[in-house]
Homo-oligomer: A and B are copies of this chain.
Amino acid sequence: MTDKKKNILAVALELFANDGFNGTSTSKIAKEAGVSEGLIFRHFENKNGLLHAIVQQAVERIHILIEPILIENEPKEVVRKSIELPFVVPQHEYPFWKLQFKLKWENDYAGDKMQPFIEKLTWAFAKLGYEQAQEEAEVLNHIIDSISAGILREGRQSQENLKEFLFYKYDK
């Protein structure tokens, strides 16, 4: 992977996350990345291919984030780490995740990459003696989803108070 190709990917990610896919022109990407416009199409065939290359990383990035939860075998720790999930995302990855959350609203979006996570949560709640582990897991997943969105839009600090509250609430 050449430097220029990396530049294109990084700039495109930033612009797609901020201005949307249709709101970002290939000429603007080229200009900000310091490359010729033609190079984008040499490397990625077309604009959709560029988006695809970016989205490709989603699966691995999600896996990196949730792997510590998946291999955890202490139920209480599973719940605790799940609550912590939105807060451990590195700040420099925010544009990437912002784009992912945006893409959820595109018609041809694949989802749901969080399924293994939900299953692990269900397992944890069952172990902890919750009566409806499945629903409990889905609800906590909703909370995590919406908190993540809040963080990506308004910053980590806007949701910080909820972290401690959820620790307390799910620890009883």
| Chain A residue total in the interface (Cβ 8 A) | 30
Bits for A128-171, please: 1 = Cβ < 8 Å to B, else 0: 00001001101100110111011001000000011001100100
Could you tell me the distance in whole angstroms from the C-beta of A126 to the nearest C-beta in chain B?
Answer: 15
Rounded to whole angstroms, the CA-CA distance of A91 and B149 in the bound complex is 25
Given B98, B101, B143, B150, which contacts A143 in the complex, CB threshold below 8 Å? B143
Could you tell me the distance in whole angstroms from the C-beta of A106 to the nearest C-beta in chain B?
Answer: 8
Could you tell me the distance in whole angstroms from the C-beta of A101 to the nearest C-beta in chain B?
Answer: 7
Q: Are A162 and B139 in contact (CB under 8 A)?
A: yes
Q: A20-B20, A22-B23 are in contact. Are A135 and B107 (CB under 8 A)?
A: no
> This chain: how many copies in the complex?
2
Which residues of B sit under 8 angstroms from A166, Cβ to Cβ?
A: 139
Which residues of B sit under 8 angstroms from A142, Cβ to Cβ?
A: 142-143, 146-147, 150, 162
Given B101, B135, B169, which contacts A105 in the complex, CB threshold below 8 Å? B101
Kindly report which residue of chain B lies nearest to residue A17, judged by CB atoms: B105
The answer, yes or no, to whether A52 is at the interface (CB within 8 Å) is no
Which residues of B sit under 8 angstroms from A6, Cβ to Cβ?
A: none
Besides A135-B162, A139-B165, A145-B146, 4 new A-B residue pairs in contact (Cβ under 8 A), listed by A number: A101-B105, A104-B149, A139-B169, A145-B149
Please give the residue numbers on chain A whose beta carbons come within 8 Å of chain B beta carbons, in ascending order: 18-20, 22-23, 98, 101-102, 104-107, 132, 135-136, 138-139, 142-143, 145-147, 149-150, 153, 161-162, 165-166, 169
